[in-house]
Structure formats: structure tokens, C-alpha cells
Copies of this chain bind each other. A is one copy, B any other.
Amino acid sequence: MTVRVTEEPFDPGAEIAAFNTAHGHAGALATFTGYCRAATAGRPVGTLYIEQYPGFTQREIQRLADDVSRQLGTLDLLVVHRVGAIRPGEAIVLVAAMAAHRAEAFDAVRLLMDYLKTDAPLWKKESGPDGDRWIEPTAHDHARRAKAGEKV
């Protein structure tokens, strides 16, 4: 399992290629990449800023990934999470799961994304032409996570 929190831009295709090279015989690889959008709810986004708590953030994401791995019996997980100043079009988060069968791979990526949305110690601020604002998880995010946790 690999969890990386990084200030540098990363290339999801290259990360996925490197991850799957190590596990060619596994059967199923599912991935998700979230990108910085150029607009949120019609409001243009200039720069997205994501703050971490160094050390703590990495360990907490590792704990969430361990939890998913235990629940779903995946063979390997990869999480890359960008922090710092992120521009539209850049990748924010990549989650990849290798498993023997496709259902486990899909479920692992989806569940880990749900966990990250609500439980990863990261704080987002969007800067646009009309100022900055901190983002907090919505009731919808919490509901989705609760549902995901039950379903699997």
C-alpha cells in the first residue's frame, strides 16, 4: 500500500502505469482521479488551496486505506493526494485499487473516496475573482459516506 501527500503536480496516467506494472496478474484494477474544476456551481475558480497537517494527514489517510483494504480484501491500494496551491485542470486526488475481481476493486475505490471526502484531514480554500472561501463537507457528503460504509 502506498499513500503519498505531495505539494508537486502529479500525472495520474504515469502513477497508474507504475502501480499496475507491479501487479500485472491481479485481475482487476479500478481507479479514480479528481481534478480541479475551472468552476464550481457556476462560480469560476482561480486557484484551489489545500492545507494539510504535516505527518498527521499522511497517517490518517493511511489508516482510512488500511480500513478499506481490510473490509474489501484488496491486494493493493494507491492514494496520491495533492496539497498546496492547485490550478484548474490539475489532478487533486488519485485512488487506485488492485483486487482479484472487479466488484472488490470498484467498491474499494468508491469507499475510499467517500472516506477521504469526509475524514481526510485536509482543508480546502477556493480563491476566485470575488474572494476566498473555505469549503466544508456537505450533509450530502456525510450521507453518502454513511451509506457507503453500510453497503459494503
Contact = CB atoms under 8 A, between A and B. Distances in A.
A91 to B, nearest CB: 8
A38 interface: yes
A89 B34 contact: no
A100 B34 CA distance: 10
Contacts of A34: 27-29, 102
Given A27-B34, A28-B34, A31-B31, 4 more contacts: A13-B17, A25-B35, A30-B33, A32-B102
A33 B102 CA distance: 9
Contact of A29 (B35, B38, B100): B35
Q: How many copies does the complex hold?
A: 2
B37 A27 contact: yes
Contacts of A35: 24-29
B17 A11 contact: yes
Interface of A: 11-14, 16-18, 20-21, 24-35, 37-38, 88-90, 100, 102, 105-106, 109-110, 113
A17 B20 contact: no
A14 B12 contact: no
Contacts of A113: 102
Contact of A12 (B20, B100, B105): B20
Contacts of A106: 32, 106, 109-110
Nearest to A23: B35
Contacts of A14: 13, 17
Given A14-B17, A89-B24, A32 B32 contact: no
